[in-house]
Amino acid sequence: MTDLIVEISKYLMTFLFALYTYECFSSFRGKLSDEKRQGIFRRQMFLMYLIHLDAYLAIYAVTDDIEMILFYIIQVAFVAITISCYRLIYGRSSGLLVNNMCMLLLLGFIMLTRLSIDKAYKQFGIAVGSMVITLVIPILIQKVKFLRRVPWLYAAIGILGLAVVFALGATSSGAKISIAVFGISIQPSEFIKILFVFFIACMLYEKTDFKRVCITTVLAAAHVLILVLSRDLGGALIFFITYLVMLYVATRKLFYFAGGILAGCIAAVVAYNLFAHVRVRVLAWQDPLSVIENEGYQISQSLFAIGTGGWFGMGLYQGMPEKIPVVEQDFMFSAIAEELGGIFAMCLLMVCVSCFLMFFNVAMQMKEQFYKLIALGLGTVYGFQVFLTVGGATKFIPSTGVTLPLVSYGGSSLLATMIVFAIAQGLYILRQDEGNLNEKKDGTKRRRTGTKRRKTGFDEEVEDFS
């Protein structure tokens, strides 16, 4: 009977999540009335609750533990309150971002419950705390004006923070990425990513003359270098790509972007020849089975998990995701692919892509360059991190050991990502206000702000994308 429930819930979840993913992208369609859009988000919410219920039914069926039911109810309450808060406080927040944030959090809870209930509780606690903290961010981002005036502060905190980790950080699997503060292990680089984006936006939003670009580049390079020295290659790559993208959009010079990529490639070759740990990663990527007892073990286990799961997965508790070292942090994608199936994992990736597109959408429509760059930078950080972690888990690229935002276990990553989402919400709301202002400026008095308001908020270019 238990098997039957797990089997059925597996197929049902795949189906529901595929629908959910479809709705994500259907919300991007250009000419949607406000009602229709709201309808999509309502359906998404409904699907989200169903998937969550479905998963916890299976979990309860297997564990037969009443605690699971309680935990489930608390989670539902948390999500309901979160969505209501955004509704009440920020009426014009992006439904897609709120839904996706909750959906990804719930998926994380589900998989963590299955993998390690203690970690699930901890993660849930952090999520609640983060939600409370980040709820004020959308207002702050609009009201606090000095944010754009303190580039040096951002850079100083960023470089100093990374340097402290480099000097004092604890080494885990070869990389120094975390530091213990009052007994709590935190990963400063997760937060410094955000500061880094603010720093570059500050530097480049007004002027992009050569001198300014040079100074910015030197300071950005300092961030990247410290990360490389700490052996946090994933982090270094994210900072590097984010900088290039922001520089390119700010200066509009393809030359910078192409040159940067080229320099990056050269640096990669040099690093490959200089550092053994880089070569090891590449070797484990090229042929993990040949070094399966050591370097290739993790990626091989990840691929075993994905491959054995197949398109429909083994069902919750039916696989062996715990065989993958640090599965809760770096290989959540593989664990999900194993037990919930390849189709589900593919949908998960697409949901992440829809978040990324939303960030870029916001960036494109912001009128003010500073905000534009912020949204762009954060979108890049998010998108590239998703790419690194999924690419690493599937052996598409060498594994760099970064987390899947919102899904993976880890307080710093969770809080930082929720800050990013909250900032994006703030900008989204701001953008709509800009749209409103435009309208008034144009002298058109429309009570019903629906379609038209949005339309003015959209550039032509944006509609092409959607």
Residues that bind another protein (CB under 8 A): 3-4, 7, 205-206, 245, 248-249, 252, 254, 257, 289, 292, 300-301, 303-308, 310-311, 314, 318-320, 323, 342, 345-346, 349-350, 353, 356-357, 360, 363-364, 367-370, 376, 380, 383-384, 387, 390-391, 394-396, 433-434, 437-438, 440-441, 459, 461-462, 465
Which lies closer to another protein via its Cβ, residue 54 or residue 338?
A: 338
Instruction: Say how far apart CA 375 and CA 355 lie, in whole Å.
Output: 12
Residue 186 main-chain phi, psi, to 5 deg = -120, 155
Instruction: Say how far apart CA 362 and CA 359 lie, in whole Å.
Output: 5
- DSSP track, 186-231: E-HHHHHHHHHHHHHHHHHSS---HHHHHHHHHHHHHHHHHHHHTT
Which lies closer to another protein via its Cβ, residue 152 or residue 396?
A: 396
Which lies closer to another protein via its Cβ, residue 93 or residue 242?
A: 242
CB of 394 to another protein, least distance (A): 5
Which lies closer to another protein via its Cβ, residue 176 or residue 431?
A: 431
- DSSP track, 129-191: HHHHHHTTHHHHHHH--GGGG-HHHHHHHHHHHHHHHHHHPEEETTEEEEEEETTEEE-HHHH
CB of 435 to another protein, least distance (A): 11
Which lies closer to another protein via its Cβ, residue 27 or residue 300?
A: 300
- DSSP track, 67-97: HHHHHHHHHHHHHHHHHHHHHHH-TTS-HHH
Q: Rounded to whole angstroms, what are the CA distances from 429 to 18, 97, 134, 140, 366?
A: 28, 12, 15, 12, 10
Which lies closer to another protein via its Cβ, residue 116 or residue 142?
A: 142
CB of 314 to another protein, least distance (A): 7
Which lies closer to another protein via its Cβ, residue 96 or residue 159?
A: 96
CB of 338 to another protein, least distance (A): 8
Which lies closer to another protein via its Cβ, residue 34 or residue 368?
A: 368
> CB–CB of 305/335 below 8 Å?
yes
Instruction: Say how far apart CA 427 and CA 432 lie, in whole Å.
Output: 9
Alpha helices in 287-368 (DSSP H): 297-309, 327-330, 332-340, 342-365
∠ at Cα 168 (162, 169), nearest 5°? 70
CB of 139 to another protein, least distance (A): 15
CB of 166 to another protein, least distance (A): 29
Angle between the 411-442 and 117-134 helix axes, to the nearest 10 degrees? Answer: 30
Enter the tokens of residue 80: 């309901």
CB of 269 to another protein, least distance (A): 20
CB of 302 to another protein, least distance (A): 11
> CB–CB of 418/134 below 8 Å?
yes
